[in-house]
Amino acid sequence: MNKLKLYGKPDSPEVLPIKDFLERSQMSYEWIDISNDNLGRYLVTYSCFYL
């Protein structure tokens, strides 16, 4: 099974509850900090949905 990828900034208040839920549910995910990842920032900027 593929790991969920969660894109966001560390100080984003919208992402914190999602990260908390995933950790409490013991779901594995890959955190991608878009403030340090150019490809991640591009994907978030040009996607239809982002937080």
Instruction: 43-50: list long-range contacts, CB under 8 Å, 24+ apart.
Output: 43/7, 44/7, 44/8, 50/7
| CA angle, residues 7, 30, 39, in degrees to nearest 5 | 45
* pLDDT higher than threshold 90 for residue 25: yes
In the chain, domain spans: 15-51
Whether pTM exceeds 0.75:
no
* pLDDT higher than threshold 60 for residue 50: no
